Structure 1
């Protein structure tokens, strides 16, 4: 059986973040996502692996001079 494709809303709920955060992570943190027409689609296993590998971790704050 193949894994279903999830929407941005579904992935946001799965991760407990907002949809805006999902779009930011796609743009800035290389979150695994697939564009289908105008929509972004996700596979939960790819997202879970990405999170476990530290993909969603906060960047280190830059040192201030």
Structure 2
């Protein structure tokens, strides 16, 4: 299987959130991410699974569980 990888800007657009929100969720350990040097990379299949699992609903904009 050939999974698509995206950067944080593409991920924010994909999820219809801001880049700042994505960074907050990463720092809180909520969003599945990989560090490549100084940048984050995201496997869309993992992000899709994270959304389907309902975990996106557990995060507010500050990365805290609600």
TM-score normalized with structure 1 length: 0.80
Separation in 1, partners of 2:56, 2:25: 7
Post-superposition CA distance 1:18-46 (Å, at most 9, x none): 00111111111421100000000001110
Q: Between Structure 1 and Structure 2, which shows a larger proportion of strand residues? A: 2
| Counterpart contact for 2:50–2:56, Cα < 8 Å | yes
Larger radius of gyration: 1
Structure showing greater relative contact order (alpha-carbon pairs closer than 8 Å, 6 or more residues apart)? 2
Equivalence map 1:1-65=2 (5 Å)? 2-57=2-57, 58=59, 59-60=65-66
Gaps of 5+ in 2: 60-64
Which of structure 1's runs of 4+ aligned residues deviate more than 3 A? none
Q: Which runs of 5+ in 1 are unaligned?
A: 61-65
Deviation at 1:4, TM superposition (A): 2.5
- How many residues matched? 60
